[in-house]
């Protein structure tokens, strides 16, 4: 049975899809279906509108490994429904209680993780475009109240979004549960009932079964609609602040694109307003760990506390993320980056080549070449030039640093320790041994990528130049 396109619920769904541009024409849509009224309603509406909207509809059902025979009946119901409507169905069974133990999260959270992982896996394998879930207005109200009771800010009060950055959309978010049940009745649609929805041992169930009815009876009979409207208002404000923070982030993030680890300039970060500071920290954490990475309030405060600390101070966060103070930068270091740094620090022994023009000298993070050049010629960004005729000993080497190395940084030829020079440049300790040096006997002529020693710089009398070209290999920051 096709839906009635004049039905109030269908009109609401069409309006939501159009307003938020949830399902572009030609989309291949995966609908998450549990067998409950919400998902049956959504699948029926999208199935009925598919030809008009030029959509291709697919369905996905996850067996959570709980609720025993009841869950098995849900599987059979969904199979029969999709077969009847000729909708391709993808199914999977996951041990959600085991996942909850492994991830150290609640059953509800583990179930949500399992569902979205499964949905995204199907989308990737089948090359689908959008995931549609059946969250409704009552789900929005429950989520809002849960977050208010825990304590939250604008982001939390934004509630469930109509559209997520990972391709998940919620066409029913403006529709109430009672409207959904009425639609199923009007369309003679059968659906499954989850017996655990009546168990008040779960926080969400207590909010649904106890708190919301009390609020409706004693304070506001339209509390779900009110909270849903509040969520939309907060989402608009949050989007504005996010847009502002993203623009600022590009200015205080490390200037090298794709540099790792992700770093923020501490001085700049310390000058912004608290709410924007929080957003900048969240952006950096998500860029380091992925869009699903979430920091709680206590994690944000621990990171903010680092802004007044010295180099070396750090805090460890969930999933192995470490945020550390590194010479004026706040570095967001993933476990992989920390392991790489440690390996480089431990394995960086002596590296030395006899310098010849035209050859490539390989270092852990650099590839260096030398060639003759003309003073005054235009150099590329990854090139530096020194006066070839000022080199007194032409037995040149390209090597990494040694204990006791010094570099002439003053016009009178006075030198300073290379270690102090690198500290002033805020070069991380793990990276210093990987930086190539052009040397003549014990004299450092150039720190590749950073500085030509003062006595070897080009001047108005220079006739021949030696050009150092360097390509970075996953150089980080």
Query: pLDDT at position 406, please?
Result: 94
Query: pLDDT at position 12, please?
Result: 96
Percent of the chain with pLDDT over 90: 64
Which residues pair with residue 366 across a beta bridge?
472
**What's this model's pTM, rounded to 2 decimal places?**
0.69
210-219 per-position pLDDT tens digit: 999 999 999 9
Query: pLDDT at position 344, please?
Result: 55
96: Cα within 13 Å, side-chain hemisphere: 23
Q: What is the CATH number of domain 348-472?
A: 3.50.40.10
384-409 per-position pLDDT tens digit: 999 999 998 778 999 999 989 999 99
Residue 383 to residue 405: CA distance in whole angstroms: 23
Q: What is the CATH number of domain 253-341?
A: 3.30.465.60
Unique residue bearing structure tokens 């492994």: 102
437-454 per-position pLDDT tens digit: 999 988 899 999 999 999
Residue 295 to residue 146: CA distance in whole angstroms: 17
Question: Would you list the domain boundaries of the chain?
Answer: 8-228, 253-341, 348-472
Unique residue bearing structure tokens 């590749």: 448
Mean per-residue pLDDT of the chain: 90
pLDDT at 475 over 50: no
Q: What is the CA radius of gyration of the chain?
A: 30
Mention every residue, 6+ apart, whose C-beta is less than 8 A from residue 253. 262, 263, 264, 265, 284
Give the mean pLDDT of 239-255.
88
Virtual torsion, Cα 424, 425, 429, 430, nearest 10 deg: -170
Binding annotation for ATP: 34-39
Strand 443-447, strand 437-440: pairing: antiparallel
pLDDT at 474 over 60: no
The answer to whether 20 touches 162, Cβ cutoff 8 Å, is yes
Q: Tell the CATH topology of 8-228.
A: Rossmann fold (3.40.50)
As a whole number of Å, the end-to-end CA separation of the chain is 60
Q: Which two tokens stand for residue 477?
A: 């920051």
């Amino acid at each position: 049975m096709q839906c009635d396109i004049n039905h109030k619920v269908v009109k609401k769904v069409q309006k939501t899809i159009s307003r938020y541009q949830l399902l572009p024409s030609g989309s291949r849509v995966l609908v998450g279906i549990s067998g409950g009224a919400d998902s049956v309603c959504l699948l029926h509406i999208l199935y009925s509108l598919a030809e008009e909207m030029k959509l291709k509809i697919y369905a996905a059902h996850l067996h959570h490994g709980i609720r025993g025979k009841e869950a098995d009946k849900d599987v059979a119901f969904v199979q029969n429904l999709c077969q009847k409507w000729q909708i391709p169905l993808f199914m999977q069974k996951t041990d959600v209680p085991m996942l909850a133990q492994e991830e150290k999260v609640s059953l509800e959270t583990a179930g949500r993780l399992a569902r979205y992982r499964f949905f995204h896996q199907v989308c990737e394998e089948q090359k689908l475009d959008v995931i549609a879930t059946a969250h409704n207005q009552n789900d929005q109200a429950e989520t809002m109240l849960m977050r208010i009771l825990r304590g939250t800010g604008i982001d939390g009060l934004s509630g469930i979004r109509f559209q997520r950055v990972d391709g998940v959309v919620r066409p029913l978010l403006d529709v109430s549960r009672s409207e959904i049940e009425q639609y199923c009745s009007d369309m003679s649609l059968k659906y499954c009932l989850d017996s655990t929805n009546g168990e008040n041992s779960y926080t969400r169930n207590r909010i649904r079964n106890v708190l919301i009815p009390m609020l409706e009876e004693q304070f506001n009979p339209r509390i779900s609609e009110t909270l849903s409207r509040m969520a939309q208002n907060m989402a608009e404000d949050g989007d504005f602040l996010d847009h502002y923070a993203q623009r600022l982030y590009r200015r205080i993030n490390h200037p090298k694109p794709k540099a790792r680890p992700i770093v923020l300039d501490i001085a700049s970060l310390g000058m912004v307003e608290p709410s924007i500071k929080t957003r900048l920290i969240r952006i950096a954490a998500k860029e380091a760990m992925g869009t699903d990475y979430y920091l709680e309030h206590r994690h944000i405060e621990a990171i903010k506390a680092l802004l007044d600390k010295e180099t070396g101070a750090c805090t460890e966060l969930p999933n192995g993320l470490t945020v550390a103070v590194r010479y004026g930068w706040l570095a967001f270091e993933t476990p992989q980056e920390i392991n790489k740094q440690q390996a480089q620090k431990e394995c960086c022994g002596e590296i030395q080549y006899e310098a010849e023009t035209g050859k490539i000298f390989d270092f852990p993070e650099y590839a260096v070449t030398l060639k003759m050049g003309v003073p005054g010629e235009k150099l590329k960004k990854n090139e530096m030039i020194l006066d070839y005729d000022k080199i007194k000993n032409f037995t040149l080497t390209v090597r990494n640093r040694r204990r006791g190395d010094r570099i002439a940084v003053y016009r009178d030829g006075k030198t300073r320790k290379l270690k102090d020079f690198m500290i002033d440049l805020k070069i991380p300790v793990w990276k210093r041994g990987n930086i190539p040096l052009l040397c003549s006997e014990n004299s450092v002529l150039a720190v590749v990528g950073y500085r030509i020693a003062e006595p070897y710089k080009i001047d108005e009398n220079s006739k021949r130049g030696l050009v150092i070209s360097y390509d970075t290999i996953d150089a980080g920051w």
